[in-house]
Amino acid sequence: MAEQELTYKDRIVGLMMRFLSSKVDYLIANSRPGLDEAIRAGINCKHNVVIQNGILSSNINSETRLTIRKTYRDLLQVPQSHYLIGIVARLVPWKGHEIFLHAARELRSKRNDIAFVCVGGGSDSFTNYLKNLTKTLDLTNSITWLGPRSDIDQILCSLDIFTLTSTSGEGSSNAIGEAMSIGLPIVATNIGESSQQLSDSGLIIEPNDPHALYLAWNRLLENPAERKRISASSKSRVHELYSIKNMVHQTELLLVDGTKDQLCPDETKT
């Protein structure tokens, strides 16, 4: 509830959670930042554990991906020869769409073989603000706003680079994991666990820095060998570390066998 004032109902629920948490054996969070936030809110369970979200690995092969890429680019009216850079995120201020747009303007001013796509929905007021900013930055013909979609895998297949520009609020990003499972080169801000998720399977930049985002995009566009390496590394990393099988196995160890020590260390309890 960081983005809005808590309602009376929210406060009552929070009070009950704090009161009852001491009777709970395990608090399971999907990221360390999420766990820390719960602790700051007064949730004080007997043991605290992090089990990362499982990401469903894509079963789209390279031949199918090329077919999907062509189909979606035709729908988006993006030339097959262009590079397509995308972001999949709710349209809320902390997701950093303004940073994305300013970096897009800088990159577009240097190259004419670039297009951008933004996937996700938000309030009418903030959506209109971003679309007006798009006009102000003279990007109307370069950016497609798709709104909320259910065909994310197919959209990801049409991209050359995936971007996460969040300035706060992230834990373990499902969006990053899904892009990794497709094998996309990724540029992400150093928020939450982005750097741990990607390791050397992507580029990490500091938040609120459009020029750094431009430089990272340009680096990948100018280095096809690096894009290929990152693509292979991303798919391998998400399969090995962030699979649903791993998530289920770790949860079973905890809930069935009570084997907490094999999971994330419980640094928060004494």
User: Where do the domains of the chain lie, and which CATH numbers do they carry?
Assistant: 8-54+243-262 (no CATH), 62-241 (3.40.50.2000)
Q: Per-residue b/e over 18-33, b at no fewer than 16 CB within 10 Å?
A: eeebeeeebbbbbbbb
Closest listed residue to residue 179, CA positions, set 86, 108, 98, 251:
86
pLDDT for the residue 17? 85
- 248-270 average pLDDT score: 63
Band of residue 252 on the pLDDT scale cut at 50, 70, 90: confident
Residue 262's pLDDT is: 46
* Better-predicted residue by pLDDT, 32 or 210: 210
d(CA 57, CA 53): 12
What is the reported pLDDT for 206? 97
At 3 the pLDDT is 43
pLDDT at 265: 43
pLDDT at 269 over 70: no
Integer angstrom CA distances of residue 236 from 81, 82, 102, 226, 269: 27, 27, 32, 15, 34
What's the pLDDT at 178?
92
Element housing 196 (H / E): helix 194-198
Summarize the confidence of residues 107-128 as an average pLDDT.
Answer: 96
Q: Quick one: tokens of 16? A: 């009950």
C-alpha span between 152 and 119 (Å, rounded): 8
| Contact predicate 161/85, CB 8 Å | yes
Structural element, H or E, at residue 220: helix 210-222
Judged against a pLDDT cut of 70, whether residue 259 lies above it is answered with no
Question: Over the chain, what is the mean pLDDT?
Answer: 88
How far apart CA 192 and CA 8 sit, in angstroms, is 29
Name the token pair of 130.
């971003």
Q: Residue 110: pLDDT above 70?
A: yes
Question: Does the pLDDT of residue 266 top 50, yes or no?
Answer: no
Taking only Cα atoms into account, the Rg of the chain, rounded to an integer number of angstroms, comes to: 20
Whether residue 236 is predicted with pLDDT greater than 60 in this model: the reply is yes
Please give the Cα distance from 191 to 206 (Å, whole number).
8
Query: What is the DSSP code string of 100-129?
Result: HHHHHHHHHHH-SSEEEEEE--B-HHHHHH
pLDDT tens string 213-235 = 999 999 999 999 999 999 889 88
Percent with pLDDT over 90 in the chain:
52
pLDDT (tens digit per residue) in 131-142? 999 999 999 999
Q: Which has the higher per-residue pLDDT, 107 or 19?
A: 107
Residue pair 226/216 in contact by the 8 Å Cβ criterion: no
Average pLDDT over residues 62-74: 88
Model pLDDT, residue 5: 63
pLDDT digits (tens, 9 = 90+) for 157-196: 999 999 999 999 888 899 999 999 998 999 999 999 999 8
Instruction: Report d(CA 21, CA 135) in Å as an integer.
Output: 49
pLDDT at 260: 52
Q: What tens digit of pLDDT does each residue of 42-62 get?
A: 888 888 888 888 887 777 777
Residues sharing a CB contact under 8 Å with residue 8, sequence separation 6 or more, in sequence order: none
Q: DSSP H helical segments within 3-61, as ranges?
A: 8-21, 32-40
Say which amino acid occupies 125: S
CA 3 to CA 236: how far, in whole Å? 35
What DSSP character marks residue 94? Answer: G
Report which of residues 241 and 91 the model is more confident about.
Answer: 91
